[in-house]
Amino acid sequence: MKIFVPGDSAAKALGADDVADALAREAKARGLDVQLVRNGTRGMVWLEPLVEVDTPEGRIGYGNVTPDQVPDLLDGKLNSLGRVEDIDWFARQTRLTFARCGVIDPLDLDDYAANGGLVGLRRALGMTGSQIVQEVTASGLRGRGGAGFPTGIKWKTVAEAEAPQKYIVCNADEGDSGTFADRMIIEGDPFSLIEGMAIAGLGVGATRGYVYLRSEYPDAIRILMQAVKIARQRGLLGPDVLGSGRAFDMEVRTGAGAYVCGEETSLLNSLEGKRGTVRAKPPLPALQGFLGQPTVVNNVISLATVPVIFEKGAQHYADFGLGRSRGTVTLQIAGNVKRGGLFETAFGMTLGEVVNDIGGGTATGRPVKAVQVGGPLGAYMPVSKFDTPMGYEEFDRQGGLIGHAGLVVFDDTADMLRMARFAMEFCAVESCGKCTPCRIGAVRGVETIDRIAQGDAAAIPLLTDLCETMKDGSLCALGGFTPFPVMSALTHFPDDFATLQEAAE
Partner 1 sequence: MHSSAPAPSEEEIRGVVTPLASLEGPLLPMLHALQDTWGFVPQAAVPVLADILNLGRAEVHGVISFYHDFRRNPAGRHILKICRAEACQSMGANALAESTLQKLGIAWHGTTPNGAVTVEPVYCLGMCACAPAVMVDGKVVGRVDDARMDRILAEVGV
Binder among 392, 426, 493, 497 for partner 1 (CB under 8 A)? 426
Binding part of the chain for ligand FMN, among 39-47, 92-100, 305-313, 472-480 by CB under 6 A, reads 472-480
Binding part of the chain for ligand FMN, among 3-11, 145-153, 218-226, 309-317 by CB under 6 A, reads 145-153
Nearer to ligand FMN, 99 or 258 (CB): 258
Q: Are 211 and 304 in contact (CB under 8 A)?
A: no
Query: Angle at the Cα of 432 (from 429 to 436), degrees rounded to 5?
Result: 90
Q: Which residues contact 352 (CB under 8 A, 6 or more apart)?
A: 383, 386, 387
Determine whether 391 is exposed, middle or buried from the number of CB atoms within 10 Å of its CB (0-12, 13-18, 19+).
buried
**Ranges of H-type helices in 454-499:** 459-473, 477-481, 483-492
Q: Which of residues 456-475 bind ligand SF4 (CB under 6 A)?
A: 474-475
In angstroms, what is the minimal distance from the CB of 257 to partner 1?
Answer: 4
Mark residues 153-182: x for contact with ligand FMN by CB under 6 A, - for none. Answer: ------------------x-xxx-------
Q: How far is CA 69 from CA 81, 208, 221, 307, 456, in A?
A: 15, 48, 31, 39, 56
Q: Are 64 and 341 in contact (CB under 8 A)?
A: no
Kindly state whether residue 278 participates in binding ligand SF4, applying the rule CB under 6 A: yes
Between helix 129-139 and helix 190-204 the angle, nearest 10°, is: 120
Kindly state whether residue 177 participates in binding ligand FES, applying the rule CB under 6 A: yes
The whole-angstrom separation of Cα 273 and Cα 264 is: 14
In angstroms, what is the minimal distance from the CB of 443 to partner 1?
Answer: 17
Mark residues 403-442: x for contact with ligand FES by CB under 6 A, - for none. Answer: ----------------------------xxx---------
Q: Which residues contact 420 (CB under 8 A, 6 or more apart)?
A: 449, 485, 486, 489, 490, 497
Binding part of the chain for partner 1, among 212-220, 392-400, 474-482, 492-500 by CB under 8 A, reads 212-220
Kindly state whether residue 149 participates in binding ligand FMN, applying the rule CB under 6 A: yes
In angstroms, what is the minimal distance from the CB of 186 to ligand FMN?
Answer: 13
Q: Which of residues 346-365 bind partner 1 (CB under 8 A)?
A: 363
Q: Which does 361 bind (CB under 5 to 8 A by kind): ligand FMN, ligand FES, partner 1, none?
A: none
Nearer to ligand SF4, 106 or 262 (CB): 262
* DSSP secondary structure code for residue 38 in this structure: -
Kindly state whether residue 256 participates in binding ligand FMN, applying the rule CB under 6 A: no
Per DSSP, what are the bridge partners of residue 270?
none
Other CB atoms within a 10 A radius of the CB of residue 91 amount to 10
Q: Are 121 and 109 in contact (CB under 8 A)?
A: no
Query: Angle at the Cα of 45 (from 351 to 149), degrees rounded to 5?
Result: 50
Kindly state whether residue 291 participates in binding partner 1, applying the rule CB under 8 A: yes
Q: How far is CA 204 from CA 66, 142, 223, 459, in A?
A: 48, 17, 27, 52
Binder among 83, 281, 316, 439 for ligand SF4 (CB under 6 A)? 439
Binder among 49, 102, 140, 146 for ligand FMN (CB under 6 A)? 146
Q: How far is CA 414 from CA 333, 364, 367, in A?
A: 18, 12, 11
Binding part of the chain for partner 1, among 89-97, 195-203, 331-339, 495-503 by CB under 8 A, reads 331-339
Kindly state whether residue 431 participates in binding ligand SF4, applying the rule CB under 6 A: yes
Binder among 50, 84, 351, 432 for ligand SF4 (CB under 6 A)? 432
Binder among 3, 5, 10, 487 for partner 1 (CB under 8 A)? 10
Binder among 185, 236, 297, 420 for ligand FMN (CB under 6 A)? 297
Which helix (H) or strand (E) segment holds residue 300: the answer is: helix 300-312
Q: Which does 434 bind (CB under 5 to 8 A by kind): ligand SF4, partner 1, ligand FMN, none?
A: ligand SF4
Q: Which does 438 bind (CB under 5 to 8 A by kind): ligand FMN, ligand FES, ligand SF4, none?
A: ligand SF4
Kindly state whether residue 279 participates in binding ligand SF4, applying the rule CB under 6 A: no
Q: With contacts defined by CB under 6 A, how many residues of the chain interact with ligand SF4?
A: 15
Q: Are 190 and 237 in contact (CB under 8 A)?
A: no
The whole-angstrom separation of Cα 120 and Cα 418 is: 47
Kindly state whether residue 389 participates in binding partner 1, applying the rule CB under 8 A: no
Other CB atoms within a 10 A radius of the CB of residue 363 amount to 16
Q: Are 224 and 186 in contact (CB under 8 A)?
A: yes
Kindly state whether residue 292 participates in binding ligand SF4, applying the rule CB under 6 A: no
In angstroms, what is the minimal distance from the CB of 237 to partner 1?
Answer: 16
The whole-angstrom separation of Cα 302 and Cα 305 is: 5
Nearer to ligand FES, 69 or 469 (CB): 469
Kindly state whether residue 147 participates in binding ligand FMN, applying the rule CB under 6 A: yes
Task: Give the rounded distance of the alpha carbon of 280 from its chain centre.
Answer: 26
Q: For 376-409, what is the HEC assignment?
A: HHCCEEEHHHCCCECCHHHHHHCCCCCCCCEEEE
Q: Using CB under 8 A as the criterion, which residues of the chain lie in contact with partner 1 when the complex forms?
A: 9-10, 12-14, 45-46, 48, 174-180, 183-184, 215-219, 251, 253-259, 270-277, 290-291, 332-337, 340-342, 363, 372, 376, 406, 408-411, 414, 419, 422, 426, 430
Q: Using CB under 6 A as the criterion, which residues of the chain lie in contact with ligand SF4 when the complex forms?
A: 260, 278, 431-435, 438-439, 474-476, 478-480
Q: Using CB under 6 A as the criterion, which residues of the chain lie in contact with ligand FMN when the complex forms?
A: 143-147, 149, 171, 173-175, 260, 262-264, 297-299, 302, 476-478
